[in-house]
Structure 1
Amino acid sequence: MADGRSLPPVLQRMWGREPAPRRGPRPRLDLTMITAAAVEIADADGLAGVSMSSVAGRVGVATTALYRYVASKDDLLTSMADGVVPAPPDPAGLPWRDYLAVWTRAQRDIVLDHPWLLAVTRFAPPLGPRRLLWLDRALTALDGTGLDDGEKINVASSLTGYALTDAALTHTLASGSPELVDSGIEGATAYGEVLAEVLDPETYPALSAAMRSGVMGGAEGWTDADDFRFGLDLLLDGIEQLIARRASGR
């Protein structure tokens, strides 16, 4: 096993690898308490509200006391990105495709419940014990499919990337980015109407026709749940084809 001392201190604490103090009173704080307080602030006020001082105030200590557990705000964000994640779905004997569909949707839902995660985890590989448990469960679901370990990890990474991208789009259209709000665009319907107005049918014939058909709004238009499922099925169909090719020896 790797020496825990080679890990950054915050990861040592996240993994329970930090040596226990030999003497003195038991600390009244720990990384779990600090992380939970920071998550509460982020959920209420966004990442802009999270600072060492605001977290210290939430747990009732001086700001300097936090530096015993987290050396910087970046360390705190690393812990938050892992600490906010619940246990992964229970495979419960599900076939790999059914499980990965539940697994991917659950990741999307976590981000929609805590949209500040988009600024923390979008391009960061998992480091903490909770997020890596999700990766482990995805790999386990793919046991017996004929895929090698690298292919399994690529499958999990692709599905995670899709969940994050779809969550970002859904959150933006639901809450409005500054660019959309400043343009008076609120929601998918308004977005489609603006595009239908500005697109030149001669230059953008296919896209213009799609927007003018009302694809982004109305009863038959864009809905985040249906859109997510459509894209997820495309990915799962591709994974199914890859498994079939491996089974046939191609």
Structure 2
Amino acid sequence: MAQERPLPSVLGRMWGHEPVSRRGPRPRLDLATIIAAAIEIADAEGLAGVSMANVAARVGVATTALYRYIDSKEDLLTVMADSAAPLPPEPDGMPWRDYLALWTRTQRDLLLDRPWLLSIDTLIPPMGPRRLLWLDRALAALAGTGLDDGEKINVATALVGYALTDAALVQSVTGGDPRMEEAGISGAADYGEVLTGLLDPETYPSLSAAMRSGVMEGAVGWVGDDDFRFGLDLLLDGVEALIGRRALRDRSDGE
């Protein structure tokens, strides 16, 4: 039998695997209360307002008392990133494509509603209970498609990456990114104008011609749903093509 790998303390707490001491007074707090307070601060003030001291003040304890539950601010952010996500939508017999479109859009919208999540390293493999529930539902939606488990996980990873990238781009324009403000960019049209002035037609002939044609003027600040759906459809079309290739392979193998 393989020896069980010990969990880092923060993961043990997230999964409820940390042993509970029966000695001493009953703790005044629990991890859920602390994380809820930290999320409230982040929603109101952004991550800049989240510190161990501010969270401790919100729940009414000394800062040192938090360290009975959270070892560091980094661990605090790890748990916040997992806990801030809602429960995933259930497939409930939806066609896989419809479900994954909803699944991806819901994650993108969460990131727009809580942009502070974009500042946390959410590109690490999911290990918390809530994020892994999202992954589980994506795999369930792809059951019966002929994809193997590795391909299903790669599909989910690609869709999460798209949700993150789209949300980050929208937030950089609409959220007052100082770099964009300094460049005078408040939308796609402004971006196109800046590039038109920067690009040398000899070095960037195709891109320069596209910018000078006014291609960016029709986009509405990269926040229009049509733009999001266009990219999502490209990804889902690729998944559909992959499923089709797997079906052809399986039929060929069966002959």
The TM tier, using the shorter chain, reads over 0.9
The answer to whether 1:38 aligns with 2:35 is: no
State the Cα distance separating 1:72 from its structure 2 match.
0.2
Partner residue of 1:109? Answer: 109
Per mean C-alpha deviation after superposition, the further-off stretch among 169-178 and 221-230 is 221-230
1:167 — aligned with what?
Answer: 167
Give the distance between the partners of 1:93 and 1:108, measured in 2 at CA.
Answer: 23
Q: Distance in 2 between matches of 1:83 and 1:114?
A: 12
Counterpart of 1:100 in structure 2 is 100
1:191: which partner in 2? 191
Secondary structure in 2 aligned to 1:249? helix
Partners of 2:20 and 2:4 lie apart in 1 by 13
Quickly say closer, same or farther: Cα 1:176–1:212, change in 2 above 3 A.
farther
Letter in 2 for 1:72: S
Aligned-partner Cα distance in 1 for 2:146–2:121: 30
Letter in 2 for 1:49: G
For 1:178, the equivalent position in structure 2 comes to: 178
- Check whether the contact 1:192–1:217 (CA below 8 A) recurs between aligned residues: yes
Q: For residue 238 of structure 1, give the secondary structure of its aligned residue in structure 2.
A: helix
**1:236-247, aligned counterparts within 5 Å?**
236-247=236-247
Is contact 1:193-1:211 (8 Å) kept? yes
| Other-structure match for 2:132 | 132
Give the distance between the partners of 2:78 and 2:2, measured in 1 at CA. Answer: 20
Aligned to 1:66: 66
Distance 1:23 1:219, change over 3 A: closer
Q: CA deviation at 1:82?
A: 0.4
Tell me whether 209-218 or 109-118 shows the greater mean CA deviation: 209-218
| 1:212 corresponding residue in structure 2 | 212
Q: In the superposition, relative to structure 1, how do residues 220 and 34 fare at CA in structure 2: closer, same or farther (>3 Å)?
A: closer
Alignment partner of 1:54: what SS? helix
Measured on the aligned residues, the alpha-carbon RMSD in Å equals: 2.1
Could you say which residue in structure 2 is the equivalent of 1:26?
Answer: 26
Deviations 1:173-204 (A, max 9, x none): 11232222122222222112211233233332
Q: CA deviation at 1:244?
A: 0.7
Q: Give the TM-score normalised by the residue count of structure 1.
A: 0.93
Give the CA deviation at 1:23. 3.5
Is it true that 1:49 corresponds to 2:58 in the alignment? Answer: no
Is contact 1:39-1:84 (8 Å) kept? yes
C-alpha distance in 2, partners of 1:23/1:44?
Answer: 37
Query: How far 1:209 sits from its partner (Å)?
Result: 2.7
Match of 1:8 in 2: 8
Give 1:151 deviation, angstroms. 0.6
SS of the aligned residue for 2:144 comes to coil
Q: Deviations over 1:136-181 (max 9, x none)?
A: 0000000001111111111101110111011111111112322221
User: How many percent identity over aligned positions?
Assistant: 70
TM-score normalized with structure 2 length: 0.91
Q: Write the deviation string for residues 54-112 of structure 1: whole angstroms up to 9, x where unpaired.
A: 11011111000000000000100110000100000121210001000000011111111
**Cα distance in 2 between the residues matched to 1:2 and 1:41:** 42
Q: Which amino acid aligns with 1:144?
A: G
Unaligned segments of structure 1, at least 5 residues: none
Gaps spanning 5+ residues in structure 2: where? 251-255
Aligned residue-pair number: 250
Determine helix, strand or coil for the equivalent of 1:216. Answer: helix
Q: Which residue of 2 aligns with 1:156?
A: 156
Shift of 1:43: 1.7
Cα 1:83/1:4, change in 2 over 3 Å: farther
